[in-house]
Amino acid sequence: AQSVSQHNHHVILSEAASLELGCNYSYGGTVNLFWYVQYPGQHLQLLLKYFSGDPLVKGIKGFEAEFIKSKFSFNLRKPSVQWSDTAEYFCAVNGDNQGGKLIFGQGTELSVKP
């Protein structure tokens, strides 16, 4: 069965620090990969996605993620975080024969200190 693992449950950073959130998945076929973000009191929204092509994808607000197929990983990065990045981040996977359903990781809560 598909599964997604996010290694960090809660990350606390100071502004301007660099961020990397880990995400690993298990699935034997082709995957589509996503990072979603949920700001306090707001809906889940898409941060970035990978379907094919360049394994380094760029999303909104300066975020990027790299798909490393050999490691089954899709880590999220940002070189310099801001207080406004405080949110919960979810990695999600969609397998090639899974219709559109997303399998989510447990989420990582990011707190950025001003």
Partner 1 sequence: GAGVSQSPSNKVTEKGKDVELRCDPISGHTALYWYRQSLGQGLEFLIYFQGNSAPDKSGLPSDRFSAERTGGSVSTLTIQRTQQEDSAVYLCASSLRTGGSYEQYFGPGTRLTVT
- CB environment 54-87: b (16+ within 10 A), e (fewer): eeebebeeebbbbbeeeebbbbbebeebeeebbb
Rank residues 39 and 83 by Cβ distance to partner 1 and give the closer one.
Answer: 39
Rank residues 17 and 38 by Cβ distance to partner 1 and give the closer one.
Answer: 38
> How many Å is the Cα radius of gyration of the chain?
14
Rank residues 40 and 114 by Cβ distance to partner 1 and give the closer one.
Answer: 40
- Number of residues in contact with partner 1 under rule CB under 8 A: 24
Establish how many alpha carbons lie within 13 A of residue 109's alpha carbon, considering only the half-sphere containing its beta carbon. Answer: 4
Contact 106, 60 (CB under 8 A): no
Please state the closest distance from residue 90 (CB atom) to partner 1, in A.
6
Task: Report 34-93 residues binding partner 1 (CB under 8 A).
Answer: 36, 43-46, 49, 51, 90, 92
Q: For binding to partner 1 (CB under 8 A), which residues are involved? A: 31-32, 36, 43-46, 49, 51, 90, 92, 94-96, 98-107
